[in-house]
Amino acid sequence: MSFLHDLRIAVRSLWCVRALWLTVALTLALGIGANAAIFSVVRAVLLRPLANRDEDRLLYLRQSAPGLGETNATFSVPEIQDIGSKLKTIEELGTFSEMDFTVEGLGTPREIPAGVVDGHYFEVMGLKPILGRLLGPSDDGPNAAGAIVLTYHFWRTSLKSDPSVLGKQVRLESGMGARSATVVGVLQPSVPYPVATEIIANVVTSPHHLSATMVTGREHRMTEVFARLAPGATVDDARAELRTVYGAMVAAHPEVYRPEDHYRIDVTRMHEQINARANGILWILFAASGLLFVIASSNVANLVLARTVRRESELAVRLALGASTRAIRRALLAEGLVLCGSGAIAAVLLAIPMVNVLGRYAARFSVRANDLTLDFSLVWFGVALALAAAIFLALIPRLPSPNGAQGGLSARGVRATGGSSRRLRIFAVTQITASFLLLAGACVLMKTLFVLEEIRPPFDSANVLAINLPVLSYGKTPQQVSEFYREVLRRVGALPGVEHASSGFSAPWRDDRGLNIAFTFATQGARRTDGQDFRAKFRSVSPGFFDTFGVPIAAGRDFNDGDKDGSERVVIISQSLANLLYPGQDPLNRRLWWTDGVMKFIGISMEPRRIIAVVPDFDDENIIPSAAMTIYQPIQQEGWNGRLFVRAHADPYTLVPAISRTIHEMSSDQPVEKASTLGDVRAEVLTPDKLNAIVFGGFAAVALLISVVGVAGVLAFSVSSRTREFGIRMALGAQRHNILTNVLVEGLVMAVIGVSAGVVLGFGLALLAGKYVTELHQPGALAFVASAFTILAAAVIAAAVPAARAANVNAVEALRAD
């Protein structure tokens, strides 16, 4: 008899138990498919080599000042010169500064993220062009012509891979002025770091980078530094040398690097730095998929082994009629291959769409997750595991003896050996333990998301529209630019449906680059007891800004049109800052002045300014509001525009066409971009937390469902094997509720054992993971209690059907059947 014939028989046999076949196939599909999809993401994001040449020699430098709360600070030009001129273990340094340029000449003018680099950057990064050339040392210096390189993603998506873009002249607008530049090349596909850029320009395109404040200001830090290891040097060698050189620089400038600020430098491989944000979450997700695979495998083993035990009488008959043990094993193997093979095929079909979904999820944490495809290496590994499982399930079960007293021809019912029953219970307990761990993790994420969703911001976010309105200064004086924004506010504020309109230089939550910097200042009549300087965030806003956001003035007055350049300098401070400076006193009319050296580099005066008002804390940086140490200055005196805020009477989005039309009537080239309510901006910031909760919650739900099936299967098998026992007990006077309780308790005991093991493992894994993933939220008692209650309730539900079946055993029929 051929094995093909065995396969046909197996298909017919399994068709009679279609529920079992479908359950096993779906369980394997979920286990293998989820792991294949997640491994595709992990491999693409964390393990795949970078496109950069000799990536193992590519380094990322960073400095920090824990005393100032700076964990990953950029560098200033003098610092880079001091460090780079004395290194032997590092071959070359390349620099990158994040910028936003408004680009005119590549389609509709718009503001795009960009980078300003020196002539060594591309050589250090080990990248090459796919079109034209890259920037080099000849593009450095104030007399060089403006030149830009397009990133591959921007060229392909925004310019439709147009090769004629080479040689095009464009104008780049930044806060400090406009410069012209020529498109000289298109960069090969590569990971954009430290930010997702669309163009990369040479230094001359940024007037600010050529200014004396940028070139000589040691505290003016806005440049990322990359390095390439010298041949034969190691990362440890470079780290040791950098710390020595950096220590000498710190000692030479005590006025900048104060001992209490604890300035230090470190270096890491570029590959590790790029993966830093995605590393923890993806490995945890991979571990979750591993738990799901354990649950799926245990469930398949449970179902198939239980069916094999139930078939002892059938197998004994076949053996008695002359079938060889080898033929029986081959038939079991055929059934196992059909079961596991169909599961493997379903896994491939499931993994393809799943990897697309998970790729979009992972793209929130790493740009390397874009354009992912299924990695078939793990699919084939899963298929191989499925085939191995089929062989295991064919060879492991003990075949009955045709002449044996137990399970042979004399056995009319199903007999389960103690070993079979124990194995099934062990598999079920394993499923429950793994399900508990996934549920506890999902509970932590859902609780975190619930807390974030419930916390309300300290200002109106539903009815306020934030619009990017980048400065276009070409051919305009600063006064004309300022007048343009004033006229925008006047005209937009007069539109029907607009309640208030104002402007500033940053939108809450969205413009994070400009929100988290604090500067030192001094103030009249206040001094810190520890001798440290006062520090506060800086914001420039227009009159009516606080009315737009629904934030009342606690004391004093708002800015007005009289607070302009040439008039008395004034500020408004936050309530927390007022309490710190003047506890129990009136801060109005006191004077403060900036002392931070950076201020002179960004064009902010150190002159004293009078406090004219106090406003409630306006934390525009954090989703969970904290004490806001903020100083607000009138935008007509100092600062920058670029963001328009509109408070609407009704739906803010209905105003967008009218706002855009009004602004374009004033200037047809003016970009009007990213119109969004602050509520939607906040929701976008929360998206990674939502995705975490959804993904882990989905894993937990699937795991729980499989575990319920597993527990129900074990108890159904137990009830089938104990039919005669239940019949005897009922014949001797046992009540149906006693039998029902007995089976329910059996399921509950398995759940309690699984939950107990899960609690122990959960605490241990949480402590272990916390050492490597610092941002991990540790599970609290509520997560464990909620998960345990869910598991125990599910176990009772799973046990209900077999328990009801046991309670309805007919004692006479049960005894007669045996």
Using CB atoms within 10 A of its CB, is residue 662 exposed (0-12), middle (13-18) or buried (19+)?
middle
Q: What is the residue whose two structure tokens read 């206040």? A: 526
Closest-CA residue to 306 (of 162, 157, 425): 425
Task: Give the bridge partners for 614, in sequence order.
Answer: 555, 573
Task: Give the bridge partners for 645, in sequence order.
Answer: 466, 502
pLDDT of res. 164: 92
Residue 413 has pLDDT above 50, yes or no: no
Average pLDDT, the chain: 81
- For strand 224-229 and strand 199-202, is the pairing parallel, antiparallel, or unpaired? unpaired
pLDDT digits (tens, 9 = 90+) for 692-734: 777 777 777 777 777 777 666 666 666 666 666 667 777 777 7
pLDDT digits (tens, 9 = 90+) for 602-638: 778 889 999 999 999 988 887 777 888 999 999 988 8
Residues 6+ apart with CB under 8 A from 65: 73, 261, 262, 263, 264
pLDDT of res. 338: 83
Enclosing H/E stretch for 813: helix 811-817
pLDDT of res. 780: 61
Least confident of 67-76, 145-154, 183-192, 628-637: 67-76
**Distance (Å, whole) CA 795 – CA 708:** 6
Average pLDDT rounded to a whole number, residues 54-73: 87
Percentage of the residues of the chain whose pLDDT score is greater than 90: 29
Closest-CA residue to 291 (of 431, 149, 105, 481): 431
pLDDT of res. 716: 66
pLDDT of res. 41: 78
Q: Could you tell me the two tokens for 486?
A: 């004033």
pLDDT of res. 280: 67
pLDDT of res. 414: 43
Query: Is residue 140 helix, strand or coil?
Result: coil
Please confirm whether the linkage preceding 194 is cis (ω < 30° from 0): yes
Residue 479 has pLDDT above 80, yes or no: yes
pLDDT digits (tens, 9 = 90+) for 200-247: 999 999 888 888 778 888 888 889 999 999 998 999 999 999 999 999
pLDDT band (50, 70, 90) for residue 398: low
Bigger pLDDT: 479 vs 238 = 238
Average pLDDT rounded to a whole number, residues 89-100: 92
Query: Is residue 401 helix, strand or coil?
Result: coil
- The 10 Å CB-count burial string (b at 16+, else e) for 551-565 is beeeebebbeeebee
Percentage of the residues of the chain whose pLDDT score is greater than 70: 83
C-alpha dihedral (461, 464, 470, 473), degrees to nearest 10: -130
Average pLDDT rounded to a whole number, residues 751-768: 77
Residue 538 has pLDDT above 50, yes or no: yes
For residue 406, give the DSSP letter.
Answer: S
Closest-CA residue to 689 (of 783, 771, 765, 775): 775
Q: What is the residue whose two structure tokens read 């934390």? A: 619
Closest-CA residue to 433 (of 218, 627, 704): 704
**What one-letter code names the amino acid at 417?**
T
Q: Are 727 and 810 in contact (CB under 8 A)?
A: yes
Closest-CA residue to 400 (of 332, 473, 470): 332
Q: Are 676 and 466 in contact (CB under 8 A)?
A: yes
Residues 6+ apart with CB under 8 A from 724: 413, 814, 815, 817, 818
pLDDT band (50, 70, 90) for residue 318: confident
Q: Where are the alpha helices (DSSP H) in 582-677?
A: 598-601, 656-666
pLDDT of res. 122: 95
pLDDT of res. 809: 64
Query: Is residue 592 helix, strand or coil?
Result: strand
pLDDT band (50, 70, 90) for residue 768: low
pLDDT of res. 461: 80
pLDDT of res. 79: 92
pLDDT band (50, 70, 90) for residue 167: very high
Average pLDDT rounded to a whole number, residues 649-664: 92
**Assessment of whether the complete model's pTM goes beyond 0.95:** no
pLDDT band (50, 70, 90) for residue 31: confident
Residue 405 has pLDDT above 50, yes or no: no
Give whichever of 155-169, 509-523, 739-753 has the largest mean pLDDT.
155-169
Q: Are 73 and 62 in contact (CB under 8 A)?
A: yes
**Distance (Å, whole) CA 782 – CA 792:** 15
Direct distance between the N- and C-terminal alpha carbons of the chain, in angstroms, rounded to an integer: 35
